[in-house]
Structures are given as structure tokens and as C-alpha cells.
A = this chain, B = another copy of it.
Amino acid sequence: MDLTKSLGELALGSRFKRISDRLMQDVNLIYKEHRLDFESRWFLMFYALTQRSPQSITELAAALGFSHPAIIQLSTEMEKAGLIRSHSDKEDKRRRLLALTEKGRVTGSDLKEIWEDIEAAAREAIRETGIDILGVIEKIETVLEQKSLWARVEGKIKKRRMDAVEIVVYSPAHKSAFKSLNYEWLEKYFKIEELDRKILSHPEKIIKSGGQIFFAIHGGKAAGTCAMIKHHRHEYELAKMAVTEKAQGMQIGKKLAMTAIDWAKKQKAHAVVLETNRKLAAACALYKKLGFIEVPFTSPSLYQRTTIAMRLEL
């Protein structure tokens, strides 16, 4: 029957909107029927001015949670209706101070009765629900303040995407992917060096000398790769890390690196080292997050692009 209702949690926003529209429309109707020459949307600002007058545009905007152009629009309407009047602040010529006029004050006391009736009516409706509605609203706002719906959804999406990626070790079928994935970023940010060409063309040599190569499979295709090159008995180098542009933001790099480090631990490694370029900020941030710390160079790098060396003690 009612689509919005049947959608449950998915249409939560629409359902709150429906209640709010209904309430505000009813209040509007009351002002209209009683020819009060007062619009319900003026209420918050008008009320704020009955509490403290004068106030500046931005003060009111902050108090009501509206944008300042909204306050300006309201103020022109209410000024036309003769309820408020404005004058520029002598101490700060940028500010325009809004204050109730005499007519505004009179209207205010006329409206006070109606407001009391509205409040009483709302209280009556709330009592009928048998629920502490204001408490519920408060609770919802608190929960959303702690973690917004946006943040929650982002978390879910990230997790789902990470789960959708499978990490596998080298097999000859992936030989060309190892090369093309690395060529993609090398050509974008730097240039292919002789050593790159050699290593990327013969991945099986990494395996033969006691290392390993990992691939992130997403939707049946290799979307990322990284290699562990054995330096000596207890030290491996994390190298040739690449994630295709289309699959970035899916935490593939993180998952690859974590798998590689776990693998190194199993090989009884005591440390993992790596070399990279500071320009690759996302990569550097990831390494730091995984526990790598910057170290001085023990020997000159074999690559021209290298500007930083890092090390992770296991």
C-alpha cells in the first residue's frame, strides 16, 4: 500500500519529512484561518527576537541553524509586515541589527496565546502516543552526531568492497598482469627503468629466489599486485606494489600489503623493507599505517625514483 512505509529503514528520511511537513502545514493553516498576518516560517526568528533584541543577521542564522541568506529573506518579509526594523551597528558597520517594532511586540503578545494552544495540542498528541517523543528525537540526534549516516554507510561500502577482493599467489597465468599493472603507474608518475623491465618481465625469478608475488582478484580480474623479494634469510623487500586506477579506493593496497607481511612472518622474516618516492603520498601513508618507519639508506638505491626507505620490524 504505502511505499514509504514498506521500505522500512531505507526511507527513514522520507518518513520523518512526512511527519514534519504535516505538522508545519497544520500550523500554517492555523495562522491562515485566524487571519493572523503571520507566516509559520517566521516563527523561529520572531521568537528569537522576542527573547533578545536586537540581533545581527549571522547571530540569528547561527541560533536558528539556517543560512544567512535565509535570515535576510525572512527579515525583508517581516520588515514589510512591519514586525521588525533594522539599523546598522555603530560599532561594526558591517553588521545590521534586527529588532522588533512596537507592532512586532504587540503581535507577539497576541500570538503568545496561539502558541500556548499549539504547544498544548502537541503535548496532548504526544501523551496519546504514550511515548516520550522529545526524548526519542534527542536520542536520534545524539546517535547521528556520534556517527553520521554517511560515515556508517561509507564503512559498510568499504567493508563490502574489501570482502569482494580475493588475494592469490603467483601463477604463470598472472605473468602479464604483473607487468601491465606496474607499467600503468610507472609510466604515469615516473619512467620505466632498466631494472623494472628486467624484474617485471621475469616474475618467476622472484619466486625462484625465495620470494613471492600476490595478486588482488576483483570481478575475476587482477586489480592489484605486490611482490616480496627475498634479501637474505630474515629480510624481505616489499616491492612492485600496484593497484589499477579503476579499483582505487577499495582498500586493495592495504589488503595486498597485509597479506604479504603475513606471508613474510610465516617465512620467519625479522623485517620487511621497502623503497619508494615521497611523491606517492597515498602509498607512504599506507606504509606508515602498517607500522613501517622511515630509515636512512644503508646502500644507494638501484632505482632513480627512490627518495625514501622504510622498514618494518616483525
Interface string of A138-158 (1 = CB under 8 A from B): 111101101111101111110
Report copies per complex.
2
Q: A19 to B15, alpha carbons, bound, how many Å?
A: 10
List A residues 1-54 near B (Cβ within 8 Å): 2-5, 7-20, 22-24, 26-27, 29-30, 33-34, 44, 47-48
| Neighbouring B residues of A122 by C-beta, 8 Å | 9-10, 12, 149, 152
- Contact of A30 with B154 in the complex, beta carbons under 8 Å: yes
Q: A32 to B125, alpha carbons, bound, how many Å?
A: 39
Chain A binding surface SS class = helix
| Neighbouring B residues of A20 by C-beta, 8 Å | 13-17, 20
**Cβ-closest chain B residue relative to A28:** B150
Could you give 27 example pairs across A and B, Cβ below 8 Å?
A3-B47, A8-B134, A9-B119, A12-B134, A13-B24, A13-B27, A14-B20, A16-B16, A16-B17, A17-B17, A19-B140, A22-B148, A23-B149, A26-B149, A27-B150, A30-B153, A113-B160, A114-B153, A117-B153, A117-B160, A121-B156, A124-B152, A125-B144, A128-B143, A128-B146, A133-B136, A136-B136
